[in-house]
Chain A
Amino acid sequence: MIYADNAATTALSPKALSVLVHHAKNTWGNPSSLYAHGQEAKEVLEQARTQIARCIGAKEREIIFTSGGSEADNQAILSAAAWGKQKGKRHIVSSAFEHHAVLHTLQKLEKEGFEVTYLDVHADGLVRPEEVKAAIREDTCLVSIMYANNEIGTIQPIGEIGAICREKKVLFHTDAVQAIGHIPVNVVTDQVDMLSASAHKFHGPKGVGFLYVRQGVPVRSLIEGGAQERGRRAGTENVPGIGAMAAALQEAASHMDENARHLKAMQARLIEGLSRIPHGALNGDRDRRLPGNVSFCFEGIEGEALLLLLDDKGICASSGSACTSGSLDPSHVLLAIGRVHDVAHGSLRLSLGEDVTEEEIDYIIACVGEVVAYLRSFSPLWRDLEAGKKAFIL
């Protein structure tokens, strides 16, 4: 099997697995208990906090452990909104292609009287810092722009946006779920106030993540209860998961350069190979993208059928077609970069793992070419395109 869906989730690294099992077995005390067995668990948490903080240039007390990326996104946005409401600031700037954990939270706030500006991400899938600047108003309480997009992999100019927000004294949150562990992220040089991350995207376990909150930024607890995480997140901590997350992140950070170098070479080979399929196109900027992300649209075919046939050939991938999402609309990300519905339905996302080989890339290229040609052979849409009854878009 070739697993090329690492943007969906990653395999647990052997190191993270051994830490997970070790703490599940041995460090099962409650970190809030004062006897030694509890304090050992507390020690695991604090060590993990230190390791994670170091990886992103933060201080220990700025890291809040959460149940994952979605919770971190919700907490960051709702905290900024609660603060904004107190100050009479009810405007938020975000982008059109954020993850649903951000978009749905913003939609909830819109129903409560907030106003949200969704910035255009242009055909290249990049937010323009000057457009962020222009969108900020007197009553803006938050700017939330993702670090890297989960579907098309484009990396946003976070440092430039951070500088603008700092200058304008507006809170800045970034959903860095796809970036952390894959590209260098530093909360100080990027000037971010809040940052969300999720362990299962960097070979850690599912159901655990963290929110970075810069010291002094007002943050609220989403979950009422005990005083864990200094009152910012109630609930007995997931000690094994948090320990394993820190181990996974350290490992990812220490191999980041070599992993990125290899992935970029594999990415280039894959993009070149898939570009030879007629009437297809790469989604998002060619260069400013995550090293493992390759996203294409192929005209005249539908993505789910493509995925099922690739699965038959042992390739795990994903698509933003409507039929994979359970709704009638294709992915909002592809629509946001200007892909029309007809084309957006024929999308394919391959997100490579660090251990992918050249042979596997060549196999993927051959299989995608074969399956696209096969599906086109009985597609009435393709027939019309070829017959000139409809104009090719790609």
Chain B
Amino acid sequence: MALYSEKVMDHFRNPRNVGVIEDANGVGLAGNAKCGDIMKMYLKIEDEVVQDVKFETFGCGSAIASSSMATELIKGQPLSEVRKLTNQAVAEALDGLPAYKMHCSVLAEEAIQAALQDYESRMTKEDN
């Protein structure tokens, strides 16, 4: 029995959407160095749809895999869908995570929701 599912290892070894979006209009951060995982999500949102998403992660195998899977789940999706993203959905899409690694998927959800909030606060500023 391996520690992680094939899906987790695939996303860990070949993470999708790694990097930075220079002109992102929503950036979110979750976690901290003290707990050992930090995720940063960059969103490029146009017409209420996630046109592009990239991530940077300092963390363990499941943190990297969770970030990668989360970006795949929201890429091209309308914000109404993105808002519904849960850590459960990320973990399920990875064919499960060990119980003590669930917090890594929570961070992916938090980073994305933080990026959405950042986007929304930028929009309200523009409106004013």
Contacts and interface: CB of A to CB of B under 8 A. Distances in A.
Given A302-B63, A304-B61, A380-B40, A322 B35 contact: yes
A341 interface: yes
Interface in A54-87: none
B34 A342 contact: yes
Contact of A326 (B12, B56, B63, B100): B100
B61 A300 contact: no
Interface string A293-336: 00000001111110011001000000001111010101000000
B18 interface: yes
B57 interface: yes
Interface string A361-386: 00000000000000000111111000
28 contacts: A300-B58, A302-B36, A302-B37, A302-B59, A302-B63, A303-B60, A304-B61, A308-B61, A309-B13, A321-B60, A322-B36, A323-B37, A323-B62, A323-B63, A323-B101, A324-B60, A328-B36, A341-B33, A341-B35, A378-B18, A378-B19, A379-B57, A380-B38, A380-B40, A380-B56, A380-B58, A381-B38, A381-B58
Point out which of B37, B58, B62, B63 has the most chain A C-beta atoms below 10 A from its C-beta: B58
A381 B29 CA distance: 11
A20 B63 CA distance: 43
Contacts of B104: 323
A303 B104 CA distance: 15
A378 B12 CA distance: 12
Given A300-B58, A305-B60, A380-B39, 10 more contacts: A302-B59, A305-B64, A308-B61, A322-B35, A323-B61, A341-B33, A378-B55, A379-B57, A380-B56, A380-B58
Interface in A181-213: none
A312 B13 contact: yes
Contacts of B57: 378-380
A323 B34 contact: no
A339 interface: no
Contact of B33 (A323, A326, A345): A345
A323 B36 contact: yes
Point out which of A309, A326, A379, A380 has the most chain B C-beta atoms below 10 A from its C-beta: A380
Interface residues of A, number: 25
A379 B101 CA distance: 19
Contacts of B19: 378
Interface in B42-72: 55-64
B60 to A, nearest CB: 3
Contacts of A304: 60-61
Contacts of A342: 33-34
- Chain A to chain B: the 4 pairs with minimum beta-carbon distance, closest first: A323-B60, A342-B33, A304-B60, A379-B58
A305 B12 contact: yes
A381 B38 CA distance: 7
A47 B19 CA distance: 63
A341 B35 CA distance: 7
Contacts of A321: 36, 60
A380 B63 CA distance: 13
B98 to A, nearest CB: 8
Point out which of A322, A323, A324, A326 has the most chain B C-beta atoms below 10 A from its C-beta: A323
Contacts of B103: 328
B115 to A, nearest CB: 13
Contacts of A323: 36-37, 59-63, 101, 104
Nearest to A308: B61
Nearest to A326: B100
